Amino acid sequence: MRFIHMADMHFDSPFTVLSSREELGELRRLEQRKIFKKIIDKIKNEKIPYLFISGDLYEHQYIRKTTIEYINNLFKEIPETKVFIAPGNHDPILKKSYYYDFNWESNVYIFNSEIKKYSFQDCDIYGFGFDDFYCTNSKIEEIKIENKNKLNILITHGDLNASKTLDMQYNPINENKIKEIGFDYIALGHIHKKIVNENIVYPGSTIAFGFDELGEHGILDVNLEKNKLEINFEKLDETEFKEINLDISDIYSEEELIEKINEIKLEKNNYYKIILEGNKNIEINTNKILKIINKKNILKIKDFTKLNFNLEEIKKENNLKSYFIKEIEKIKEENNCSDEEIKSAIEIGLQALQN
């Protein structure tokens, strides 16, 4: 049995990480369409009989009817492929959702909060979908497989081994309990990173959404038999979010720092975060630098440098720097300032006194 497993496309996402440059969000939304068309073309050309979408196909808050029509028209191009969708926490099957009141193609099967099984000659497909933005008890761990001689597949959106209180709101799934049921493949969505835990599988998000989703993104092309599983990852997103660390210990002017960033060799299709590290010898305004540099695919600059001062030694001196540090420490105690605020004040003050 062969199928495509994908999840977390989030059609019409606002792409908040790209909000500093409005056109980038629109470009990513166009790339979503382009990538989904690639998936459908692959299914059509290779005659793949099943497509599993494990939730968060779209963003309920932002989705447009024209986008739903675009998705459905593509499903129309693969009438022989059975498309299974298990709505997630971003696209629950609410009464006012497109899952509920849109006329989907006849080859599209949409799960709801009542666990359902579809039987075919080669397999039984079970599924559960969110009917709200939160789900704490889907009861999927209580499923009893009816025919263990067939291939049995579960499609759902959820958090495997959720431990944090927040994660427990998104269909928490106990790994040991779900394994005991005896599914041959468990197609999950929700985690945006590809994870293969024997036959419990997250394909990861189809495209990357930010710097917390580094690496390649795409879909899984799966071949499944009894006691045999072959999973092939196919990268579809041509854009990656990447981080670059830059040691600025030997940089002594803002101009030099800007030149150093401009000299970094970057791949055109990717987006970058520059992480400044090492000892700081200058005052750094990351927002200002971001506007000046000529690398427009650098979206963020983070300052993780350390003060190039020995504060304890300076405090022992009898001069303005010593007095300044002691006064700043008093201000911290009296006003309950954060460490970051104090660090910034000391940096600026010592830099000014040094000059």
Per-residue model confidence as pLDDT tens digits over 201-248: 999 999 998 898 999 999 999 999 999 999 999 999 999 999 999 999
Q: Burial code of 118-136, b = ≥16 C-beta within 10 A, e = fewer?
A: eeeeebbbbbbbbbeeebe
pLDDT at 355 over 60: no
pTM: 0.85
Neighbouring C-beta atoms of residue 207, cutoff 10 Å:
25
pLDDT digits (tens, 9 = 90+) for 15-30: 877 766 667 888 889 9
The structural architecture, per CATH, of the domain 2-235 is 4-Layer Sandwich (3.60)
Q: What is the reported pLDDT for 26?
A: 87
How many degrees, rounded to 5, is the angle at CA 216 between CA 211 and CA 219?
125
pLDDT of residue 322: 85
Give the Cα separation of 221 and 76 in Å (integer). 21
Is residue 5 pLDDT above 70, yes or no? Answer: yes
- Looking at residue 159, what is its pLDDT? 95
Measured distance CA(234)–CA(230) in Å, rounded: 13
Q: End-to-end CA distance of the chain, in Å?
A: 72
Checking if the pLDDT of 295 tops 80, the result is yes
Instruction: Report DSSP state, residue 81.
Output: S
Q: How confident is the model at residue 335 (pLDDT cuts 50, 70, 90)?
A: confident
Average pLDDT, integer, range 116-144 = 96
Name the strand (E) or helix (H) holding 46: helix 22-46
Percentage of residues in the chain having pLDDT higher than 90 = 73
pLDDT for 344 beyond 80: no
pLDDT of residue 329: 82
Residue 20: what pLDDT? 63
The pLDDT, as a whole number, for residue 336 is 74
Rounded CA-CA distance 67/98 in Å is 11
Average pLDDT of the residues of the chain:
92
> How many percent of the chain have pLDDT more than 70?
97
Cα–Cα distance, 350 to 355 (Å, whole number): 9
Q: Which residue has the higher pLDDT, 23 or 340?
A: 23
pLDDT band of residue 93 (cuts 50, 70, 90) is very high
CA torsion sign, 212 to 216 to 218 to 224? negative
Q: What is the mean pLDDT of residues 102-109?
A: 97
Give the pLDDT score at 282. Answer: 83
Q: At what angle do helices 65-76 and 22-46 cross, to 10 degrees?
A: 20
215 Cβ neighbours under 8 A, 6+ residues apart: 193, 208, 240
Cα 49 from chain centroid?
28
Integer Cα distance of 330 and 350 in angstroms: 16
Tokens 């072959």 belong to 230
pLDDT of residue 349: 79
Q: Is the dihedral of CA 349, 278, 247, 340 positive or negative?
A: negative
Mean pLDDT of 318-337: 82
Task: Give the residue, 19 or 87, on which the prediction is more confident.
Answer: 87
| Whether residue 143 has pLDDT greater than 80 | yes
Taking CA atoms, 91 is separated from 11, 72, 334, 344, in Å, by 10, 15, 48, 42
pLDDT band at 325 (very low <50, low <70, confident <90, very high): confident
